[in-house]
Amino acid sequence: MSHSPAVLITGASSGIGATYAERFAQRGHDLVLVARDKVRLEALAARLRQEHDITVNVLQADLTQPVDLATVEARLRDDARIGVLINNAGANHTGNFVEQTPESIEQLVALNITSLTRLAHAIIPRLVQAGEGAIVNIGSVVGLAPELGFTLYGATKAFVQFLSQGLSLELSSKGVYVQAVLPAATRTEIWERSGIDINTLPEVMEVGDLVDAALVGFDRREGVTIPPLHDAASWDAFQAARQGVLGGLRQAQVAERYRNL
Ligand code: NAP
């Protein structure tokens, strides 16, 4: 693998993904841009080729469609130039869980969980063999907060965080870096797409600031990067509390409070 590996970015036609494309182009990386909107991808690719003298390929894919997903998986498996996967494509749904249709549940899980997981699974064997490479999974602070009311979306993002932390434990000793990025509200089209007026939100981060901060975490090889979290020690305390819960488990014995007295 080259020391400036190509980067495959899903959801590269807008928002966070398009900004990652811009930033990796500035760093001189070749790119593979994935999303459904081929016109937007081609326009971004043409501009980045011209401005940065890099190779940019466009791969049109609806990641909820098995045939398209398999095409992107094959690209990740077979194209030895690709050393970084930015697993960014995702969507949000408004409304309570009971208001979702079976179809909308299926779609959200297919995009936010199944495609992200399968794309990571497709590239990992090659990265492990090379002993280098990186996977960036875009989660959300909503995955930490059932209180926020985006129950299904938050559950998909909690999955992304868990998967990333688990993969990091499995792969770091093999030279493969895995990062979970947890944005809070960021100015992109996701809000309009899911029927929420961004102007009703009290605070919004600009997308360039979000991606630049995520890349600071990337360069430091941080496992979980939360750009809007100002008190880093609170994350460490959260992880320590989780370890404390694990330390309090006694597998063979029911806890006192559940015993019939
Ligand atoms: P966005 O501007 O709406 O971008 C979403 C991207 O995903 C687009 O490029 C879209 O492209 C692509 N996409 C959507 N459905 C797809 C499908 N079925 N197949 C392939 N690509 C698909 O929103 P964003 O904020 O940048 O979202 C990027 C990630 O950040 C998501 O995972 C989101 O959950 C996460 N996030 C965002 C925020 C926020 O406040 N913005 C906060 C936390 C986490 P096409 O329409 O061309 O397919």
To test ligand 1's pocket by mutation, which of 19, 22, 33, 36 has the most ligand atoms within 8 angstroms of CB?
A: 36
Residue 82 has pLDDT above 60, yes or no: yes
Per-residue pLDDT at 1 exceeds 70: no
Note whether residue 165 is domain-resident: yes
With 80 as the cut, is the pLDDT of residue 261 above it?
no
Nearest to 58 by CA among 88, 31, 90, 21: 31
Residues 169-215 have pLDDT tens digits of 999 999 999 999 999 999 999 999 988 899 999 999 999 999 999 99
The Cα-based distances of 257 to 79, 198, 246, 253 in angstroms read 56, 46, 18, 11
* Number of folded domains that form the chain: 1
The Cα-based distances of 255 to 187, 250, 251, 252 in angstroms read 46, 8, 10, 10
Q: How far apart are CA 167 and CA 107, in angstroms?
A: 24
Q: Kindly provide the b/e burial profile for residues 214-238, where b requires at least 16 CB atoms within 10 angstroms of the residue's own CB.
A: bbebbeeebbbbbbebeeeeeeeee
Q: What is the C-alpha separation between 68 and 41, in angstroms, rounded?
A: 16
Per-residue pLDDT band for 260 (boundaries 50, 70, 90) equals confident
Query: Does the beta carbon of 143 sit less than 6 angstroms from any atom of ligand 1?
Result: no
Sign of CA dihedral 100, 13, 127, 180: negative
Does the global pTM surpass 0.85? Answer: yes
Q: What is the pLDDT of residues 203-256, one digit of tens each?
A: 999 999 999 999 999 999 999 999 999 999 999 999 999 999 999 999 999 999
Give strand ranges (E) for 36-89: 56-60, 82-87
Instruction: Decide if 153 is catalytic.
Output: yes
Whose CA is closest to 31, among 51, 48, 50, 14? 48
Return the bridge partners of 186, or none: 205
Check pocket membership of 115 for ligand 1, CB cut-off 6 A: no
Nearest to 58 by CA among 36, 41, 71: 41
Residue 112 has pLDDT above 70, yes or no: yes
Q: How far is the CA of 18 from the centre of ligand 1 (A)?
A: 10
71 assigned to some structural domain: yes
CATH value at residue 123: 3.40.50.720
Q: What count of Cα atoms within 13 Å lies in the side-chain half-sphere of residue 237?
A: 4
8 A C-beta contact, residue 59 and residue 53: no
Amino acid letter for position 89: A
Ligand 1: atom nearest CA of 139 is 44
Domain membership of residue 176 (yes or no) is yes
Q: Which of 168, 177, 182 is nearest to 214 (CA)?
A: 182
pLDDT at 83 over 60: yes
What range defines the domain where residue 156 resides?
A: 6-232
How far apart (Å, rounded) are the C-alpha atoms in residues 59 and 124?
20
The answer to the question of residue 114 being in a domain is yes
Q: Is residue 254 part of a domain?
A: no
**What per-residue confidence (pLDDT) applies to 195?**
87
Mean pLDDT, the chain, integer: 96
